[in-house]
Structure 1
């Protein structure tokens, strides 16, 4: 690979924080209620995303009765649905799942951008973590290769929910 080609390998990892600093880290466990908003558009892909997300929740130990699934027509509707679920305060985290595949017009750019902005806004306005499981891809093959992103979205949502829970508990305690 020469220096002009973009990197296609993205990896997570652990941060190395020097000793002496307080660190607030979240864990992933099954003690939380989770809302899932999922687009029906590109259903072959979004059904696979939903299946993968539910399998991850099962593996983590989230009971099925602690999961609410809200199907919506398309990716553009994901933010409104995420906001509505978050505002109920019944869910510790929201997982947004969808797939936008680039076509021949700028429609892809508008939908992908507005969905991303709207999902972030839902999280910011409600304080409930909303994870980004919206695939924005060039073609169906890329989407199929990224189905596991649904599991990543589940884990991110639960980790952030735990961090926020710890932060609220610390805020309620005595000052140092």
Structure 2
């Protein structure tokens, strides 16, 4: 897969503090992915929010600053015993998509929605790789696409 060069692009990473063991690993994966493809530290800003639901307003807040080419939203929602999981996952997915449309910027959904902590850890640097790094690659590709056509 051709990723492209992130040099000169500016990224914001909005990361949930809830399930920090998982989201911290996702963040490390995203930072490593951006760096591996040419992004430098000064072109990446990290903004922490309390939980996955707040990724929506967090992305909206950072995009009020027009300097970013893409925003990566990282979070983790683990299934519990109530329907709360379904409501949060649905709201976060729609909210992140709407922020991207509002600002005409790539806003990347890097939110794990798993049945348990083990599945989340498997996707945050475990046996299924690091979805944070995958989100970073997606952000690079989408930022380059946006620059090409805007």
Q: Helix, strand or coil: the match of 2:36?
A: helix
Query: How far 1:136 moved relative to its partner?
Result: 0.4
The corresponding residue for 2:79 is 102
- Bigger relative contact order, structure 1 or 2, given CA contacts below 8 A and separation 6+? 2
Residue in structure 1 matching 2:108, options 105, 116, 131: 131
> Rg: which structure is higher?
1
Give the SS at the match of 1:75: coil
1:1-176 aligned at under 5 Å gives the runs 27-147=4-124, 148-168=130-150
CA distance in 2 between partners of 1:167 and 1:109 (Å): 35
Q: Structure 1: which 5+ residue stretches go unaligned? A: 1-12, 15-25, 169-176
Could you tell me how far 1:61 is from its partner in structure 2?
A: 1.7
Alpha-carbon distance between aligned partners in 2 of 1:38 and 1:29, rounded to the nearest angstrom = 20
Judge conservation of contact 2:6–2:140 (CA < 8 Å) in 1.
Answer: yes
- Structure 2 residue runs of 5 or longer lacking an equivalent are 125-129
Other-structure match for 2:127: none
TM-score (structure 1 length as normaliser): 0.79
SS in 1 for 2:54: helix
